[in-house]
Amino acid sequence: MPKNENIFDFPSDLLDAQAALHRARHASEDYARTLPWSAEPMTGWEADKQLHSSYRSSKPDSPGYTDDQRSEVARLRAEVLRLSAVVSTHPFWETVENGKVVEARMRLKHAHESAAEA
């Protein structure tokens, strides 16, 4: 982005909440990758061969989630939802000039990247 573009003075609590939201989403996505492909026990399957390809999609049997896994998924989702509300309802957004809120939001989402580079 060109240097002469509008730079927003985000309050530290908003930056902290956005960074926490980023970490919570990352933790939720990482955890989801460790889970069975289906939350409920489900029989695996194998699809027909794709036309002009030897690729055949398939899934193994899924044991479903354990009670502990369900609880952890719910906890992680609740934290992401809570932090999303903190960020999106922060009083700072009321101070942003009309027509600049989307730009400010996009810059906030990437503020941790520029802070890491500094």
96 located within any domain:
yes
84 located within any domain:
yes
For residue 31, pLDDT beyond 50: yes
Where in the sequence is the domain holding 21, given as residue range(s)? 12-37+66-117
What are the CA-CA distances from residue 5 to residues 1, 57, 115 (Å)?
A: 7, 47, 18
103 located within any domain:
yes
Strand ranges inside 13-98, DSSP E: 45-46, 58-59
83 located within any domain:
yes
pLDDT digits (tens, 9 = 90+) for 38-75: 999 999 989 888 788 888 889 999 999 999 999 999 99
- pTM value is 0.81
51 located within any domain:
no
pLDDT at 117: 62
pLDDT at 100: 95
Count of structural domains, the chain: 1
Compare 7 and 65 and report the one with higher pLDDT: 65
